[in-house]
Amino acid sequence: MLLPFAPIFLGSQLLITAADGVPTIDIHKTCRAAAVVTAGTSTETDIEICVSSEQKAREQLVKDWSKYEVADKTRCIQAGSRVYLPSYIEWLTCVEMETAVKNMRQEQKVGPTGAIQRGR
């Protein structure tokens, strides 16, 4: 009967991790799995390129982690981990999009003169 509580427990752990710092994932596993999905046509070079891209995305996340809102980080990490293998590229894209949308909404509320826009 404890099984229904497992997602809540795991989700709460992910929340703590997202708030504290960029979670660590096995990018080699992610890249190998991606190679399998592409019908096994990926070469070792493709996997190395994938790993390199994932490492760069992780470095960018680490650099900018404190700039992102905790709710956005948590939402992106939880959503990505439930749907597919975890990926720093996916997480980075997600938090950047969340931030961009919030910035655009804020700009729409406040016009160029600083006046609040209504009815848009």
Q: Which tens digits make up the pLDDT trace of 89-103?
A: 999 999 999 999 998
Using 50, 70 and 90 to split pLDDT, how confident is the model at 10?
very low
Helices within 38-87 (DSSP H only): 44-64, 70-83
Rounded (10°) CA dihedral 6, 8, 14, 15 = -160
Q: Which domain holds residue 92?
A: 17-109
Is 53 part of a structural domain of the chain? yes
Is 117 part of a structural domain of the chain? no
CA distance 86 to 15: 15
Say what the pLDDT of residue 15 is: 40
pLDDT at residue 87 above 80? yes
How many structural domains comprise the chain?
1
